[in-house]
Amino acid sequence: MAHTTDETLTVLVYSDDRNTREQVTLALGRRPAADLPELRYLECATVPAVLRALERGGIDLCILDGEAVPAGGLGVARQIKDEIYGCPPVLALIGRPQDSWLAAWSRADAAISQPVDPVALAKAVAALLRARLEARTPTRH
C-alpha cells in the first residue's frame, strides 16, 4: 500500500519518565518501515495530557508505559479503550514478558517488554499502523 509522502502519522508516547519517552522515539526514528509515512511524536508525561490529546483527535497510535507513575499505562490503556470513541491502537510497554496477561487485560493491541528492543518495537508499531491505515482506506471494487 502506497502512501503520500506528505502524510504523517501521529504517535502519542506516554510515560512519566522522559528517558523512556526518548528511548521510544529514538528507537522508532522518523519512519519505522519504508512503506509507512513519517512519524510525528506527541510526548505526554501525565494522564490528563493523554486524555486531552485523544479528545482533540488526530492520534494514530498510543504507546503507553506500563511502568509509569502514578498511573501505569496498562490502566490508562483500559480507560481509553472504554472511554474514547474510535480509540487508536495501543502498544503497551510492559516491565517483563510475564506481564503480557496484564497487557491483555488492558486491551492493548500489542505489547513489548522493556528495555525496548528497537527491532521489536519497529515491527510492532509498523503492524499496528498498517492496520490503522488499512481501516481508514476505503475499499475499491
Instruction: Pull the grid cell for residue 118.
Output: 528497537
Q: For the CA atoms of 26, 16, 110, 99, what is the dihedral angle to 10 degrees?
A: 120
- Are the CB atoms for 85 and 44 separated by under 8 Å? no
pLDDT at 4: 47
Average pLDDT over residues 12-36: 96
Greater confidence (141 vs 25) lies with 25
> Would you tell me how many other CB atoms lie within 10 Å of the CB of residue 57?
10
Q: Which pLDDT score is estimated for 55?
A: 95
Q: What is the pLDDT of residues 88-140, one digit of tens each?
A: 999 999 988 888 889 999 999 999 999 999 999 999 999 999 999 998 776 55
In the predicted structure, residue 2 carries a pLDDT above the cut 50: no
Q: What is the DSSP letter of 80?
A: H
In order of start, what are the domains of the chain with their CATH numbers? 8-135 (3.40.50.2300)
pLDDT of residue 1: 44
Beta bridge partners of 111: 92
| 28-51 pLDDT tens trace | 999 999 999 999 999 999 999 999
